[in-house]
């Protein structure tokens, strides 16, 4: 798929008619960026209307080696041109399904509480492919409450790590804990078969070393229900302990 075709599909997914001002958002995030250390992560403010980056944090250069000014000038089209050709169609399919899910299944009042995750491979400034896991939180919406501006956080991983193309949507609950409301593996069905969205949240919190009681409080369920889910997870994955589960997750970083 060439750059022009990608642009047309992407713009259709995010088709909007508003042009909101983000000056305040951008100024506050610029202030935060001054204090962030260099690491394997960076963030941008993305504008899906004009396919531009409203802001790019300084870590982008350290992570991918791109010139920040060039990336801001050339926008998303340039970013897409460096994606692995085998990932493009799956990535666009993932975006399309996430958007359809949001518009059809998420109430307008809850869309500002959503967080989306997907991944792909991209060629860095040295022409080496690396894995990128992108988490995006909506900042602005059009008149139909369709997300068009997002705060995107990127984590760069070595290309030797094999990652399926997956997409996840999480909703921030009243306890300020993410609950998975959508997950799909667009590459191949491996460990994902049979694992429910609730079980994904429990796995993620177990990896963060939370107890059954703590998990229950965060997800508004009883600790007994959490323990039942834990036993079911181990059975489905054919493993014997939470420790083995954590080790497995280290090899499948976008599983949850």
CATH of the domain at 226: 1.10.10.10
Query: What single DSSP character describes residue 70?
Result: H
Final residue of a domain: which of 161, 186, 211? 186
Domain hosting residue 253, numbered range: 189-256
76 and 98, same domain (yes or no): yes
Quick check: helix, strand or coil at residue 129?
A: strand
17 and 88, same domain (yes or no): yes
Bridge pairing between strands 52-56 and 41-47: antiparallel
255 and 209, same domain (yes or no): yes
DSSP string, 77-128: HHHHHTB-HHHHHHHHHHHHHHHHHHHHHS-GGGGGGEEEEEEEEEE-TTS-
Contacts of 208 (CB under 8 A, 6+ apart): none
178 and 152, same domain (yes or no): yes
The pLDDT assigned to 191 comes to 47
* Domains: count for the chain: 2
201 and 173, same domain (yes or no): no
pTM: 0.77
The pLDDT assigned to 1 comes to 65
Token representation of residue 61: 């250069």
pLDDT digits (tens, 9 = 90+) for 6-21: 777 877 877 776 665 5
36 and 131, same domain (yes or no): yes
CATH number for the domain that contains residue 60: 3.30.450.20
Distance from C-alpha of 115 to C-alpha of 75, rounded to nearest angstrom: 22
Q: Where are the alpha helices (DSSP H) in the chain?
A: 3-13, 23-35, 59-64, 68-81, 85-105, 197-207, 212-219, 223-237, 242-250
50 and 139, same domain (yes or no): yes
Instruction: Please list the ranges in the chain whose pLDDT falls under 70.
Output: 1-3, 17-22, 24-26, 28-29, 31-32, 35-36, 188-193, 246-256
46 and 65, same domain (yes or no): yes
Token representation of residue 228: 């039942």
Other beta carbons within 10 angstroms of residue 233's beta carbon come to 20
Final residue of a domain: which of 186, 214, 245? 186
């Amino acid at each position: 798929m060439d750059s022009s075709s990608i642009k047309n599909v992407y713009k259709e997914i995010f088709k909007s008619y508003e042009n909101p001002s983000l000056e305040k958002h951008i100024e506050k995030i610029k202030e935060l960026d001054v204090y962030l250390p260099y690491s394997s992560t960076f963030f941008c403010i993305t504008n899906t209307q004009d396919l531009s980056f409203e802001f790019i944090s300084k870590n982008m250069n350290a992570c991918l080696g791109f010139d920040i000014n060039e990336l801001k000038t050339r926008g998303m089209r340039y970013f897409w041109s460096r994606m692995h050709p085998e990932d493009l169609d799956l990535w666009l399919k993932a975006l399309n399904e996430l958007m359809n899910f949001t518009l059809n299944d998420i109430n307008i009042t809850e869309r500002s509480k959503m967080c989306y995750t997907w991944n792909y491979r991209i060629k860095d400034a040295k022409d080496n492919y690396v894995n990128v896991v992108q988490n995006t939180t909506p900042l602005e919406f059009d008149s139909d409450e369709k997300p068009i501006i997002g705060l995107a956080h990127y984590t760069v991983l070595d290309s030797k790590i094999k990652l399926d193309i997956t997409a996840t949507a999480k909703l921030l609950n009243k306890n300020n804990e993410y609950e998975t409301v959508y997950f799909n593996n667009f590459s191949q069905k491996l460990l994902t078969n049979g694992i429910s969205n609730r079980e994904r949240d429990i796995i993620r919190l177990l990896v963060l070393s939370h107890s059954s009681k703590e998990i229950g409080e965060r997800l508004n369920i009883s600790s007994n229900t959490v323990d039942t889910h834990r036993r079911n997870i181990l059975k489905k994955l054919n493993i014997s302990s939470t420790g083995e589960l954590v080790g497995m997750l280290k090899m499948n970083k976008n599983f949850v």
